[in-house]
């Protein structure tokens, strides 16, 4: 297959949803229908906030799928689908944010009983920054939920995006009988199956088909009347509006019962965008360009507990990656040979021979790769828009065994390279201060230090309320600043200088006192 064909058949996306809407279930079912796994539907217990921690860490073990889970690639029909996982808990939102910069479209999952929830709203805002096209799956129709018309109204009103129903549900809860596919004019009858069985229910062609009345009874007439209302009141699917991010095609179903997911996948591979152009600082890079380029959007340590490795996830923006290729690490201005990149087949972790725009490859990272780094065939490109946000919460790492100091510093350094937390080493003492956006991250880091680095540590309160990256165009004043404010300065894990303030007032005063110094609340990577 030629390079343009390989590029055109890629579909790279992520799922956005509020926790519990069914993201994990749908992921499994997509893999099931994609033929990537034999058996889906491992039962998962009730989740609580604490459970979410272990959920994240134990995911690989608990699930029937042996996945690195971050990226799942599977073929479907003549397409290659790349599904990028996003962590569910809101404390990992920055990670989610960055993953959404690496996709070409998103699938929004909504619980039919709950409608638009808070986390969905936030994720939608992120998608909107880049006008990411969004498909919607309304899940759990096997339970009593809200009126579908009302749900679409809510999506339109709250998320400010037009809805175009592609399928329409026939009843719900105990009376759920299937969906009607508008464009195909066909009813897909609901036949619940669990786990790994794929069973297609009857498909009845034509809304006027008398067979409908036979199997649906009075619900057939209800459906016809309701559809008249829906078609009059809602928007028809408009491919351009979907691709522009102003309209979302909507599907209904019940993921746990393997229903509605295949209809979704069929239309997804048909309509979802192929790899899109990406903005670098100097110019826009088209996926059709044959010179290789890509950027790192995620780093994960110790994915494989047997091989203490750190993997940098790179999204290919243009060109072909071939095993053994030499690439320019733009930030370091150095060429590096990549002998053993990973690809992410859902069933296994395999070595990449070739990869194309839209694909994600995993690079072994020995500390030289950071989130936001760009790799090319030589051009000094810099893909923009992958910021680091200044954390809001700070804790000091307190070791139980003082002899493990080196291990602790190493562990913190490596875990912070993943980007979810920031490590600060003050200039004037030996503290190790961790900054995070959410409380849960401290638990995760402590747990991972214990299991992955054999270091037992606690995080205790520290007198830091906020932090800002600092820089200046006035070298002389900057030196003075570094000298005078030394007790408030620290070096982060990326080697950048940070002002750590005990109070907001202190920060304010420092900013007033040092007008020549810039205080940044985000750090653009790279």
State the minimum distance, in angstroms, from the CB of residue 89 to ligand GDP: 9
CB 70 within 8 A of CB 83: no
Length of the chain as a residue count: 526
Number of H helices, E strands in the chain: 14, 33
- For the record, the structure tokens of 436 come out as 């995070």
Beta pairing partners, 327: 336
Q: Which of 377, 352, 381, 383 is nearest to 290 (CA)?
A: 377
Nearest CB to ligand GDP, comparing residues 90 and 414: 90
Q: Give the DSSP letter string of 357-407.
A: TT-EEEEE-SS---TT-EEESS----B---EEEPPSEEEEEEESSGGGHHH
State the minimum distance, in angstroms, from the CB of residue 81 to ligand GDP: 18
Is 210 marked as a binding-site residue? no
Is 374 marked as a binding-site residue? no
Interaction residues for ligand GDP, span 32-91 (CB under 6 A):
44, 88
Kindly state whether residue 139 participates in binding ligand GDP, applying the rule CB under 6 A.
yes
State the minimum distance, in angstroms, from the CB of residue 251 to ligand GDP: 12
Is 19 marked as a binding-site residue? yes
Is 194 marked as a binding-site residue? no
Q: Order the strands of the 203-205 sheet from edge to edge.
A: 167-170, 178-181, 186-189, 203-205
Stretch that binds ligand GDP, among 22-30, 408-416, 480-488, 513-521 (CB under 6 A): 22-30
State the minimum distance, in angstroms, from the CB of residue 100 to ligand GDP: 16
Is 406 marked as a binding-site residue? no
Is 27 marked as a binding-site residue? no
Stretch that binds ligand GDP, among 140-148, 199-207, 418-426, 488-496 (CB under 6 A): 140-148
Distance CA 207, CA 503 (A): 66
Kindly state whether residue 140 participates in binding ligand GDP, applying the rule CB under 6 A.
yes
Q: Which of 512, 471, 473, 475 is nearest to 489 (CA)?
A: 471
Is 40 marked as a binding-site residue? no
Kindly state whether residue 256 participates in binding ligand GDP, applying the rule CB under 6 A.
yes
Q: What is the SS3 assignment for 45-95?
A: CCCCHHHHHHHHHHHHHHCCCCCCCCEEEEEECCEEEEEECCCCCHHHHHH
Kindly state whether residue 255 participates in binding ligand GDP, applying the rule CB under 6 A.
yes
Nearest CB to ligand GDP, comparing residues 17 and 93: 17
Stretch that binds ligand GDP, among 213-221, 226-234, 252-260, 357-365 (CB under 6 A): 252-260
Kindly state whether residue 20 participates in binding ligand GDP, applying the rule CB under 6 A.
yes
Kindly state whether residue 143 participates in binding ligand GDP, applying the rule CB under 6 A.
yes
State the minimum distance, in angstroms, from the CB of residue 290 to ligand GDP: 39
Nearest CB to ligand GDP, comparing residues 254 and 276: 254
Count residues binding ligand GDP (CB under 6 A).
18
Stretch that binds ligand GDP, among 20-28, 263-271, 432-440, 457-465 (CB under 6 A): 20-28
Q: Which residues contact 222 (CB under 8 A, 6 or more apart)?
A: none
Each residue of 325-352: b (16+ CB within 10 Å) or e?
bebbbbbeeeeeebeebbbbbbbeeeeb
Is 282 marked as a binding-site residue? no
Kindly state whether residue 19 participates in binding ligand GDP, applying the rule CB under 6 A.
yes
Interface residue with ligand GDP among 85, 142, 418, 443 (CB under 6 A) is: 142
State the minimum distance, in angstroms, from the CB of residue 451 to ligand GDP: 23
Neighbours of 284 (CB within 10 A): 9
| DSSP state, residue 126 | H
Is 36 marked as a binding-site residue? no
Each residue of 472-496: b (16+ CB within 10 Å) or e?
beeeeebeebeeebeebbbebbbee
Beta pairing partners, 73: 82, 345
Is 17 marked as a binding-site residue? yes
Q: Which of 32, 6, 50 is nearest to 443 (CA)?
A: 50
Nearest CB to ligand GDP, comparing residues 4 and 195: 195
Kindly state whether residue 22 participates in binding ligand GDP, applying the rule CB under 6 A.
yes
Is 24 marked as a binding-site residue? yes
Stretch that binds ligand GDP, among 138-146, 351-359, 424-432, 455-463 (CB under 6 A): 138-146
Is 122 marked as a binding-site residue? no
Distance CA 357, CA 375 (A): 13
Task: Provide the annotated binding site for GTP.
Answer: 17-24, 85-89, 139-142
Binding site for ligand GDP (CB under 6 A): 17, 19-25, 44, 88, 139-140, 142-143, 254-257
């Amino acid at each position: 297959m030629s390079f343009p064909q390989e590029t055109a058949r890629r579909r790279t996306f992520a799922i956005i949803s509020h926790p519990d809407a069914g993201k994990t279930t749908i992921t499994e079912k997509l893999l099931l229908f994609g033929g990537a796994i034999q058996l889906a539907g491992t039962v998962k217990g009730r989740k609580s906030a604490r459970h979410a921690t272990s959920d994240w860490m134990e995911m690989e073990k608990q699930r029937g799928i042996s996945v690195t889970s971050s990226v799942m690639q599977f073929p479907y029909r003549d397409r290659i689908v790349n599904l990028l996982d996003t962590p569910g808990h809101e404390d990992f939102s920055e990670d989610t944010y960055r993953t959404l910069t690496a996709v070409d479209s998103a699938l929004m999952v909504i619980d039919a009983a709950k409608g638009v929830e808070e986390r969905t709203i936030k994720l939608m805002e992120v998608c909107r920054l880049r006008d990411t096209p969004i498909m919607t799956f309304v899940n759990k129709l096997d339970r009593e939920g809200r009126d579908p018309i009302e749900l679409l109204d809510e999506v339109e009103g709250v998320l400010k995006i037009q809805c175009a129903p592609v399928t329409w549900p026939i009843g719900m809860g105990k009376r759920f009988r299937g969906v009607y596919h508008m464009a195909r004019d066909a009813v897909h009858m609901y036949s619940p199956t669990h786990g790994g069985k794929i069973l297609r229910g009857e498909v009845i062609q034509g809304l006027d088909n008398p067979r409908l009345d036979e199997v649906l009874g009075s619900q057939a007439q209800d459906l016809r009347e309701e559809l008249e209302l829906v078609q009059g009141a809602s928007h028809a699917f408009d491919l351009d509006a979907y691709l522009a991010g102003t309209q979302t095609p909507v599907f209904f179903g019940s993921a746990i019962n393997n229903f509605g997911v295949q209809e979704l996948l069929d239309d997804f591979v048909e309509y979802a965008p192929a790899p899109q152009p990406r903005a670098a600082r100097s110019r826009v890079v088209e996926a059709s360009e044959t010179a290789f380029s890509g950027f790192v959007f995620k780093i994960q340590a110790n994915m494989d507990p047997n091989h203490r490795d750190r993997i940098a996830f790179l999204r290919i923006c243009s060109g072909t990656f071939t095993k053994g290729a030499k690439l320019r690490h733009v930030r370091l201005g150095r060429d590096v040979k990549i002998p053993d990149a990973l690809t992410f087949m859902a069933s296994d972790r395999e070595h990449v021979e070739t990869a194309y725009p839209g694909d994600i490859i995993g690079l072994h990272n020995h500390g030289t790769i950071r989130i936001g780094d760009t790799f090319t065939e030589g051009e000094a490109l810099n893909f923009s828009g992958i910021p680091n946000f200044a954390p809001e919460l700070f804790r000091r790492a307190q070791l139980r065994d003082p002899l493990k100091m080196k291990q602790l510093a190493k562990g913190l350094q490596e875990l912070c390279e993943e980007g979810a937390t920031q490590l600060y080493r003050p200039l004037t003492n030996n503290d190790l201060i961790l900054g995070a956006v959410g409380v849960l991250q401290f638990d995760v880091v402590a747990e991972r230090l214990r299991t992955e680095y054999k270091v037992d540590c606690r995080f205790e309160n520290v007198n830091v309320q906020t932090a800002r990256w600092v820089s200046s165009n006035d070298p002389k004043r900057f030196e003075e600043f570094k000298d005078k404010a030394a007790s408030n300065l620290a070096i982060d894990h990326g080697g950048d200088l940070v002002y750590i303030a005990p109070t907001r007032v202190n920060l304010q005063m420092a900013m007033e006192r040092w007008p020549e110094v810039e205080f940044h609340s985000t750090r653009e990577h790279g």
